[in-house]
Structure 1
Amino acid sequence: MSYTWTILGMAVITFFIKATIFILGGRVAFPPLLQQALGFVPVTVLTAIIVPMVLSPHGEGLELTWRNPQLVASIIAILVCAATRKQLLTIALALVAFFGWQFRVLQ
């Protein structure tokens, strides 16, 4: 039951924050330094979500071996993205690498 209250509480807080920003609209001006800093929030949040899943996919410590398909696919994605700067190609090749590597390792 406490999970339900936690989720409902987070939903209410999120709703009020977003509603306040929506209602105030353009009447609130952030300093340029804060606007620049807020631009890095999505990248920071995605990094905080992805890195633990790549380096410790089972949650039991680091798995920095060639048998970790998440790590192999991530390295391939980084290399393809750095070489081509094409997002769709990066995603496609990383998925192919991940599933191919996972299939290969499991056999």
Structure 2
Amino acid sequence: MEINWYIMSVIIGSAIVTFIPRILPLVVLSKLEIPEWGINWLKHVPVAVMSALLASELLLLDNKVSIQENTLNLMSAIPTLLVAIYTRSLLGTVLVGIATLMTIRFLL
């Protein structure tokens, strides 16, 4: 089997490109002492990112806010959110979300 150097260079380049953004912040931030307000601020980043992802998925259609077009998704998001809040189980939340959306689509 012959090695194609172009494919090998693409694989190595891709590995480097994905490795640098993961390791560089870790190396830089491990040497710094982050103030208390910075730590508190960083605790909110995952919630903000998840909210932005959910809002765009639940409310946008063709880059426009469209609640009427996304009614089924919004209806299934309510019990899913309640399960997520009360159980804090990722598996349970995903299963309830899928089951709710399937049921709503079947009934309507």
The CA distance in 1 between the partners of 2:24 and 2:87, in whole Å, is 41
Q: What is the aligned length?
A: 93
Identical amino acids, percent of aligned pairs: 22
Please tell me whether residue 86 in structure 1 is matched to residue 70 in structure 2. Answer: no
Residue in 2 that maps onto 1:104: 107
The CA distance in 2 between the partners of 1:101 and 1:50, in whole Å, is 19
Residue in 2 that maps onto 1:41: 45
Structure 2 length-normalised TM = 0.64
Please tell me whether residue 74 in structure 1 is matched to residue 77 in structure 2. Answer: yes
Where do 1:16-31 residues align within 5 Å?
A: 18-24=22-28, 26-31=30-35
1:96: Cα distance to partner? 0.7
Please say which of residues 24-33 and 79-88 is displaced more in the overlay.
79-88
Please state whether the residue corresponding to 2:33 is helix, strand or coil. coil
The CA distance in 1 between the partners of 2:59 and 2:47, in whole Å, is 18
Structure 1 runs not aligned, ≥5 long: 1-11
Structure 2 runs not aligned, ≥5 long: 1-16
Bigger radius of gyration: 2
Cα RMSD after superposing both structures: 2.9
Where do 1:52-63 residues align within 5 Å?
A: 52-63=56-67
